[in-house]
Amino acid sequence: MPAGSGFGVENLPYGVFRPTGARPRVGVRIGDHVLDLAAALDDPVFAEPSLNGFLARGSTEWRRVRDEIVALLTDPARAAEGATALHPLADVTLLLPFEVADYVDFYASEHHATNLGRLFRPDSAALLPNWKHLPVGYHGRAGTVVASGTPVVRPAGQRKAPSDESPVFGPSVRLDIEAELGFVVGAGSAAGEPVGTAGFAQHVFGVCIVNDWSARDIQAWEYVPLGPLLGKSFATSISPWIVPLDALAAARVATPPQSPEPLPHLREVTDWGLDIELAVELNGETVSRPPYAPMYWSPAQMLAHMTSNGARLRTGDLFASGTISGPERDQRGSLIELTWNGAEPLQLADGSERTFLADGDVVTIRATAPGPNGTRIDLGEVTGRVAPTPT
């Protein structure tokens, strides 16, 4: 394992990979290799092409298997045993790590929500009256969650600029990204039984990076009065590695102060803020470094709100944080903020400029977090290239 790797035994993220000439199966990343868990642990659940079977076993089993993997990789007496199940990362194909059951996207960054409020409601309060009372969110479309590296086809839809007399149908001209974290549900819950904030770690297995691609022009025309639909449902990209919550223990921080105090069902028993740093690259150039730590609503509160009406959780549910933005301009997690809705174009190193995405643009979002004893935990990356609308 390379010295200083963010994929050491402190991390051990899970994914699904396909070796050359073989069927997909579950593995964990260690350095620049993937450990084939079906071979290493002789457990058929890891021979499946998704994590769902393992996720459904619950938190006790998640921890037992993690301990077994650590022992396999650190015990000199078992070194040969583990080596036979290792595949070089360069020799495998990484796939969607789990089958997505439901997908919910939140709007949990106060800085992001404030920026958009200032853009679109300059003569009113930036935050709507409900924003500090509950984590605002919407249901997405699970079937359009795709693996990192999948091309993102520019969506077509209805759009109407303020100067247009009537709407037109055609390719989006304001294609955007949203840098987010995703939280993967392992253990489900019964219908009618809300999951409180204290149940977060018993139900949520781990964390991934999310790019919630957004067609801002389609979204702006369609969202009143019921919210996002086609402007958000064409593609959501996720990273190939799911980092277990147990790997992020050193990254846990206090959730920012919340005023007014949340209602009892949203109060945290323990803090689930996370000190995770993201970096957004456009065509290889870093254009933003959003910090997750200032996010107003924690993932435990998102989960509690999502189930507070009795909605059940299912293995493979994915819920995302919404755009992660910090207080500084270079910490904004979307182009609509970075360019202030197109009024302040990004100047790129190659001399070009962007307000929104052009065909052929490649967006990569990376993330890291503190690990134990001064190490870093690498969450990997999620990447996608914009493909033109089919003619």
pLDDT value, residue 391: 85
Numbered residues of the known binding site for Ca(2+): 105, 178, 180, 212
Provide the pairing of β-strand 175-176 with 214-215.
antiparallel
Judged against a pLDDT cut of 80, whether residue 263 lies above it is answered with: yes
- Mean pLDDT across the stretch 92-121? 98
Q: Which residue has the tokens 């709100």?
A: 305
Last residue of a domain, one of 95, 128, 160: 95
Residues 22 and 125 in one domain: no
Domain assignment of residue 298, yes or no: yes
Residues 38 and 109 in one domain: no
What burial class does residue 296 get, using C-beta atoms within 10 Å of its C-beta: 0-12 exposed, 13-18 middle, 19+ buried? buried
Numbered residues of the known binding site for Mg(2+): 212, 232, 236
Give the global pTM.
0.97
33, 112, 203, 305: the active-site residue: 112
Domain assignment of residue 4, yes or no: no
Q: Which of 278, 303, 320, 337 has its CA nearest to residue 106?
A: 320
Residues 44 and 174 in one domain: no
Distance CA 178, CA 238 (A): 12
Check: CB of residue 83 under 8 Å from CB of residue 39.
Answer: no
What burial class does residue 111 get, using C-beta atoms within 10 Å of its C-beta: 0-12 exposed, 13-18 middle, 19+ buried? buried
Residues 64 and 130 in one domain: no
Residues 110 and 162 in one domain: yes
How big, in percent rounded to 5, are the helix, strand and coil portions of the chain?
A: 25, 30, 45
pLDDT value, residue 82: 82
Residue 297 identity: W
List the domain range (segments joined by +) for residue 249: 102-387
Residues 218 and 192 in one domain: yes
Judged against a pLDDT cut of 70, whether residue 3 lies above it is answered with: no
What percent of the chain has a predicted confidence (pLDDT) above 90?
94
Residue 167, token pair as written in the block: 């709407």
Phi and psi based region of residue 218 (left: phi greater than 0; alpha: psi -120 to 50; beta: remaining): alpha
Distance CA 294, CA 255 (A): 8
State pLDDT tens for residues 141-198: 999 999 999 999 999 999 998 889 999 999 999 999 999 999 999 999 999 999 999 9
Residues 206 and 65 in one domain: no
Residues 89 and 127 in one domain: no
Residues 269 and 293 in one domain: yes
Q: Which of 296, 289, 258, 259 has its CA nearest to residue 274?
A: 296
**112 flagged as catalytic:** yes
State pLDDT tens for residues 214-259: 999 999 999 999 999 999 999 999 999 999 999 999 999 999 999 9
Last residue of a domain, one of 40, 64, 95: 95
pLDDT value, residue 2: 56
Residues 55 and 160 in one domain: no
Q: Domain containing 69 — which CATH number?
A: 2.30.30.230
Residues 89 and 141 in one domain: no
Numbered residues of the known binding site: 105, 107, 121, 178, 180, 212, 219, 223, 232, 236, 323
